[in-house]
């Protein structure tokens, strides 16, 4: 199946993805994977021979954005990207079918013998790590010693991984790994954007109905301006993410670092303000906005908390 064959539009995937994700969320880790896979989400970019849909990353973006909006706690973006990278390998089929789940350790390398910032590594089967020579390696998590990092999120901790003696399932060359990293940055931006979108919708709805001094809080100019600024940042970040999918004026690929940095910053701002605007309720576990904030902050930390923007700045300075 291809976009040309069926005139599929990426945005049409959002609603179907939302339904599947909502259905999956109440289930355990394994069953969630099967529900997501049955909806075609795990294999959206994977080869047809592996049971995938062989669609471009632009089709994965609305799916992952919905996952962010609904605060899905499952390594969907990692699984669908690794399934794509595995091509026609039988391993890809295991990911597409939901039989296996894969995650990605965003820091460290096989060469270092140590990696970190892997989401859901306690439940996932495989983990992708940098090999330290520009490429990547897919490892069997059962062969890896893990240590949870509960500082930001005790419910869904990231994991540090000791990689000595790890079993390598597949290897990716430097070009393939770089392409995968680019896709990852786009999808993480999409996830963060979706998470913030969900929070903004919840917050705007609450402000419109929460009555104080005889009027909804949304009547207060200070509140309206907070919400309008959040809307502005969402629109701007979304525009940047959409744009990075399109080739530049000369057919070249656009850089993703600055766009991801902007998306993470904006999402953190929107989520923090959403919690603030919910007042005392926002500070408690009564509203689940903190889950999205934890996740965005975990991604931010994994990408070096400002390192993306610094690198984008360095690259630009060198280019002038």
Rg of the chain's alpha carbons, rounded to an integer? 20
State the nearest-atom distance from the C-beta of 151 to another protein, in Å.
23
259 interacts with another protein by CB under 8 A? yes
CA angle 274, 276, 279 (to 5 degrees): 115
d(CA 226, CA 204): 10
CA angle 66–67–73, rounded 5-degree value? 160
Site for another protein in 37-96 (CB under 8 A): none
Q: Which residues contact 46 (CB under 8 A, 6 or more apart)?
A: 52, 53, 54, 80, 83, 84, 86, 92, 95, 96
Establish if 313 lies at the interface with another protein (CB under 8 A).
yes
Alpha-carbon dihedral sign for residues 175, 177, 183, 185: negative
Distance of CA 114 to the CA centre of its chain: 22
Tell me which stretch binds another protein (CB under 8 A): 44-52, 67-75, 130-138, 212-220.
Answer: 212-220
Q: In the bound complex, what is the minimum distance in angstroms from residue 225's beta carbon to another protein?
A: 5
Instruction: Please provide residue 28's backbone torsions phi and psi, each rounded to the nearest 5 degrees.
Output: -75, 175
Q: Which stretch, 71-79, 125-133, 254-262, 280-288, contacts another protein (CB under 8 A)?
A: 254-262
> Per CB under 8 A, which region of 41-49, 79-87, 92-100, 311-319 contacts another protein?
311-319
CB of 302 to another protein, least distance (A): 17
Residue 123 main-chain phi, psi, to 5 deg:
-105, -25
Shortest distance (Å) from residue 163 CB to another protein? 29
Binding to another protein by residue 265, rule CB under 8 A? Answer: yes
Q: For residue 257, give the nearest of 307, 305, 191 by alpha carbon.
A: 307
Give 202 or 262: the residue with its C-beta nearer to another protein: 262
Does residue 247 come out as left (phi exceeding 0), alpha (psi in the -120 to 50 range) or beta? beta
Q: Which of residues 216-235 bind another protein (CB under 8 A)?
A: 216, 218-219, 221, 224-225, 227-229, 231-232, 235
Binding status of residue 244 toward another protein by CB under 8 A: yes
For the CB of residue 214, give the shortest distance to another protein in the complex, in Å: 9
Helices (H), the chain: 3-6, 12-25, 29-38, 57-69, 76-85, 90-96, 174-209, 221-244, 257-277, 280-283, 289-302, 307-319
Residue 259 Cβ vs another protein, minimum distance, rounded to whole Å: 5
Of 254 and 290, which CB lies nearer to another protein in the complex structure? 254
The distance of closest approach from Cβ of residue 233 to another protein in the complex, given in angstroms and rounded to an integer, is 8
| Binding positions for another protein, rule: CB under 8 A | 204, 207-208, 211, 215-216, 218-219, 221, 224-225, 227-229, 231-232, 235-244, 249, 254, 257-259, 261-262, 265, 306, 308-314, 316-317, 320
């Amino acid at each position: 199946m291809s976009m040309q064959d069926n005139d599929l539009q990426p945005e049409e995937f959002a609603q179907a993805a939302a339904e599947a994700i909502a259905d999956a969320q109440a289930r355990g880790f394994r069953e969630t994977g099967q529900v997501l896979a049955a909806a075609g989400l795990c294999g959206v970019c994977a080869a047809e021979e592996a049971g995938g849909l062989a669609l471009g990353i632009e089709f994965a973006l609305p799916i992952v954005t919905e996952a962010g909006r609904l605060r899905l706690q499952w390594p969907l973006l990692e699984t669908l990207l690794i399934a794509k990278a595995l091509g026609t390998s039988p391993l890809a089929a295991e990911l597409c079918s939901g039989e296996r789940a894969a995650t990605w350790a965003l820091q460290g390398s096989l060469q270092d013998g140590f990696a970190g910032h892997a989401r859901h590594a306690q439940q996932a089967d495989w983990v992708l790590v940098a090999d330290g020579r520009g490429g990547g390696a897919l490892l069997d998590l059962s062969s890896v010693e893990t240590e949870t990092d509960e500082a930001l999120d005790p419910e869904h901790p990231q994991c540090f991984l000791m990689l000595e003696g790890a079993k390598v399932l597949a290897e990716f060359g430097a070009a393939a790994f770089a392409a995968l990293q680019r896709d990852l940055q786009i999808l993480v931006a999409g996830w963060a954007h979706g998470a913030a979108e969900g929070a903004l919708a919840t917050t705007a709805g609450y402000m419109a109905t929460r009555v104080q001094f005889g009027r909804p809080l949304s009547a207060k100019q200070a509140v309206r301006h907070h919400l309008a600024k959040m809307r502005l940042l969402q629109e701007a970040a979304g525009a940047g993410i959409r744009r990075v999918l399109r080739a530049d004026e000369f057919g070249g690929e656009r850089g993703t670092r600055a766009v991801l940095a902007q998306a993470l910053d904006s999402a953190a701002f929107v989520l923090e303000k959403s919690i603030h605007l919910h007042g005392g309720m926002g500070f408690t576990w009564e509203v689940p906005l903190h889950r999205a904030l934890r996740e965005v902050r975990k991604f931010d930390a994994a990408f070096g908390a400002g390192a993306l923007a610094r690198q984008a700045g360095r690259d630009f300075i060198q280019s002038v």
